[in-house]
Amino acid sequence: MPSFMNAQSMWAILIVVVAIWVGGLWVAGYFVDSRVEIFRLSAARRGLGLEGRLVRDFGVRPPRRLEMRQLMDLRRIMLLAGRKESPGAYLAKSFGAGLVTAAVLTVADLLPIAFGGQPAVSFVLPLLIGVVIMLAGIADLYTRAARRQLALDRAIAEIPSLLAVLISTRSMPLADAVVMIAKAQQDPILAETLDPANWRDLIAACPETRPLLAELQAQPSAGSLYMALGTACGSANMRELGIAARRIQETGEPAKGVCLALARSLQDQQLHNSEKLVVRAENLTVLPMVSILLALFAVIGPAIYASMMQGFTS
């Protein structure tokens, strides 16, 4: 046994591991009831939060346990990514592609043995490539889902001003106006999400919105539908649209004014995001400097090394 593996160091390692484990669970929110987390979240959103600078800087996040549960829900992720097949079929495809790759590469690697030669590379390499292919299929699914979520948010951010005009000049119901504008967008993401065949699946796939499905199917209300879809798709803008629709339906406020207020709020968000990007670009000055230094070293370093060892032309 190596000398450092004595009883004391084993205890120290155990304590560190347990501390990391407990700390990880704490960060993930396992010791706080989700109702408390949701209360904190809503308090912080109203500006009543007691959180310090760290939380203000990084923004208020939903409970991590909920986030984790949503991330692990493959059926929901598949619906968000716009894929219709079952999660099992997708996983089978992804794993199958990895297995076929590993098998083909292993056969290619072992082929020389039949002719009395040696395998070209270790058998671990084909297996590793197979695993990468498997993981790439799953990573692709998550990337598509995230892209579609962003695209959905963006698609909604552009419609309130058009809604305001359409409702005021054509006396059109809000839900019809939203569908009409969604269909005029070149990216069909919003029109697809609002298609009854799709929104039922999306709402049914999300544990938070599942109980609302029967109610929505029996008595469809644009506000409730958009709010439920916003929760199911993780789209803040869709929820905002739902809140606006509810205000119009329940308080009788003029639709044009509500839509314009929503348009202003979403545009302010866009402005804020663009300002954040400008600041980020200014803070990234160090990246080109480091890259230039590294590239300089890559262009000159080997040449100097070669000249020292054997001269350039040899």
Partner 1 sequence: MSQLLSSPATFYVLVLLAFGMLATIAWVGFGGGPSAVFSLQKGSALMDRARDQAAAIGMPWRGWVVLRVVLLGIGILIGYASQIPVIAVLAIAGTLGLPSWIVRMVASRRGLKQHEAAQQRLEQLVGEISRSRIPVNQALHNMAIDAPAALTRILAPLAGSGDIREALIEVAERGRTPEMEQIAMLLLLARTRDPKVMVANIEDVLLPRLAGDLRVDRNLDKLMTDVRLKAVIMIFVISGLFVFLDTTQSFHSFYGTFLGQVSLMVAILILTGAVMVLNRMTRPPARVRWSVRRLMELEGVYDA
Residues 82-141 that bind partner 1 (CB under 8 A): 93-94, 97, 100-101, 104-105, 108-109, 111-112, 115-118, 120-121, 129, 133, 137, 140
Question: Which C-beta is closer to partner 1: that of 47 or that of 116?
Answer: 116
Binding mask 173-202 for partner 1 (x = CB under 8 A): ---x---xx-xxxxx---------------
Q: Does 161 bind partner 1 (CB under 8 A)?
A: yes
Tokens in use for 188?
A: 């069909």
Total chain residues near partner 1 (CB under 8 A)? 79
Q: What is the DSSP letter of 211?
A: G
313: contact with partner 1 by CB under 8 A: yes
Residue 5 interacting with partner 1 (CB under 8 A): no
Of 10 and 306, which CB lies nearer to partner 1 in the complex structure? 306
Closest CA to 266 of 161, 165, 129: 161
Selected binder of partner 1 within 37, 158, 192, 201 (CB under 8 A): 158
Q: Which is nearer to partner 1, 64 or 83 (CB)?
A: 83
The residue among 8 and 313 lying less far from partner 1, judged by its C-beta, is 313
Q: Taking the alpha carbons of 302, 308, 309, 314 in that order, is the dihedral positive or negative?
A: positive
For the chain, what is the radius of gyration of the CA atoms?
A: 28
Q: By CB under 8 A, tell whether 150 contacts partner 1.
A: yes
Tell me the two tokens of residue 228: 């439920």
Q: Could you tell me the two tokens for 267?
A: 């545009």
Q: Minimum distance from CB of 251 to partner 1 (Å)?
A: 20
Return d(Cα 176, Cα 183) in angstroms, integer.
11
Which is closer to partner 1, CB of 117 or CB of 252? Answer: 117
Site residues (CB under 8 A) for partner 1, limited to 256-285:
256, 260, 263-264, 267-268, 270-271, 273-275, 277-278, 280-282, 284-285
> Shortest gap between Cβ of 75 and partner 1 (angstroms)?
17
64, 154, 246, 247: residue in contact with partner 1 (rule CB under 8 A): 154
| Cβ distance to partner 1 smaller for residue 37 or 109 | 109
Between 217 and 270, CB nearer to partner 1: 270
- Based on the shown chain and the rule CB under 8 A, indicate whether residue 31 belongs to the binding site for partner 1: no
- In the block, residue with structure tokens 């998550």: 142
DSSP 128-149: HHHHHHHHHHHHHHHHHHHHHH
DSSP assignment, residue 271? H
Q: Please, what is the minimum distance in Å from the beta carbon of residue 307 to partner 1?
A: 7
In the complex, the smallest distance separating the C-beta of residue 126 from partner 1, rounded to whole angstroms, is: 9
Q: 69-107 burial, b if ≥16 CB within 10 A, otherwise e?
A: ebeebbebbbbbbeeeeebeebbeebbeebeebbeebbe
Of residues 43, 21, 34, 45, the one with CA closest to residue 67: 34
Closest CA to 192 of 204, 202, 205, 177: 202
- Our finding on whether 295 is near partner 1 (CB under 8 A) is yes
Helices 87-114 and 124-157, axial angle in degrees (round to 10) = 150
Q: Name which of residues 47 to 86 contact partner 1 (CB under 8 A).
A: none
Q: Which is nearer to partner 1, 157 or 216 (CB)?
A: 157
Residue 187 or 215: which CB sits closer to partner 1?
187
CA 176 to chain centre: 30
The Cα–Cα gap between 272 and 270 comes to 5
Residue-level length of the chain: 314
